Structure 1
């Protein structure tokens, strides 16, 4: 079964836990990973890895170097991701469990965190603060945000929480070649002791 059919099926089963009904476009994936500095010993974490569009791009950027942990709450998507990407440590868990997941897998701090989490994840946990606490001081956190909804209260709260947890937050131009169009929030300079 194709990624879009899997996403649609899983979205219909649990719409608050699956962020979208279509896979991210190449253009959005490129915008998500462009701000991330990736070197030989980089530890990259994905939150809401879904079908693995960002996972694939990160694996290409890592080129067999560093370490890659992907967290996906949906068991079907997590299993599919683990099968497709055996070099990635795929964990079926809630993103709020990031500190426990990292400790369990022997990771002190991440160098990069990329997130495709839906707003509901932000409503249930202080994701920006959790991500800031999990990042190395020079780390970067990226979050996709749907452009059509950027003025709604949950999107404004998401950006406000990012600005509280990080010293530097930038917003990309709209990625029009995505359905729906989206922006990428890139956050750097994590505030100390954010959680």
Structure 2
């Protein structure tokens, strides 16, 4: 079964946990990983890995080096992702469990964290603070945000919460070649927090 069909099926089963019915486009994936400091020994974490479009791109960039952890709350998507990417540590968990996931993997800090999490995840846990505490001081966090809804209160709260715990936040130009169009928030200089 193709990625889009699986996403649609899983979205219909749990729309608040699977936030989209289409896989991210190549253009959005490129915008998501371009700001990330991915090098030979990098630790890269994905939140809301879904069908693995970002996973594919991160694996190409790592080229067999570094460490890659993908967190996906949906068991069907996590199992499929693990089968497709045996070199990636795929964990079926809530993004709010990031500190425990990293600790279980013997990881103290991540160099890059990429997120396709929906607003509901931000409403149920302090995701920006959790991410800031998990990032190395020179790390970068990217979060996709739907362009057509970025002025709605949940999207504004999401961006405000990110800005509250990161010293440097930039917003990409619109990624029109995505359905729906999106933009990417890139956050650096995490506040020195601990959870």
Give the TM-score normalised by structure 1: 0.99
State the superposition RMSD in angstroms.
Answer: 0.6
Tell me which residue corresponds to 1:48: 48
Q: How far, CA to CA, are the matches of 1:193 and 1:175 in structure 2?
A: 32
Tell me which residue corresponds to 2:174: 174
Tell me which residue corresponds to 1:192: 192
Q: How far, CA to CA, are the matches of 2:58 and 2:83 in structure 1?
A: 16
Summarize deviations over 1:130-158 as a string: whole Å, max 9, x none.
00000000000000000000000000000
Tell me which residue corresponds to 1:82: 82
Task: Give the superposition deviation at 1:194.
Answer: 5.5
Question: What stretches of structure 2 of length at least 5 have no aligned partner?
Answer: none
DSSP 3-state at the match of 1:106: coil
Tell me which residue corresponds to 1:32: 32
Question: What stretches of structure 1 of length at least 5 have no aligned partner?
Answer: none
Summarize deviations over 1:11-40 as a string: whole Å, max 9, x none.
000000001000000000000000001111
1:144 aligns with 2:144: yes
- Equivalent pairs counted in the alignment come to 195
Q: How far, CA to CA, are the matches of 2:24 and 2:108 in structure 1?
A: 29
Q: How far, CA to CA, are the matches of 1:193 and 1:32 in structure 2?
A: 24
Summarize deviations over 1:137-189 as a string: whole Å, max 9, x none.
00000000000000000000000000001000000000000000000000000
Consecutive aligned runs of 4 or more in structure 1 exceeding 2 Å deviation: none
Give the TM-score normalised by structure 2: 0.99
- CA 1:156–1:194: 2 relative to 1, 3 Å: farther
Task: Give the superposition deviation at 1:74.
Answer: 0.1
1:101 aligns with 2:97: no
- CA 1:106–1:194: 2 relative to 1, 3 Å: closer
Q: How far, CA to CA, are the matches of 2:19 and 2:134 in structure 1?
A: 22
DSSP 3-state at the match of 1:111: strand
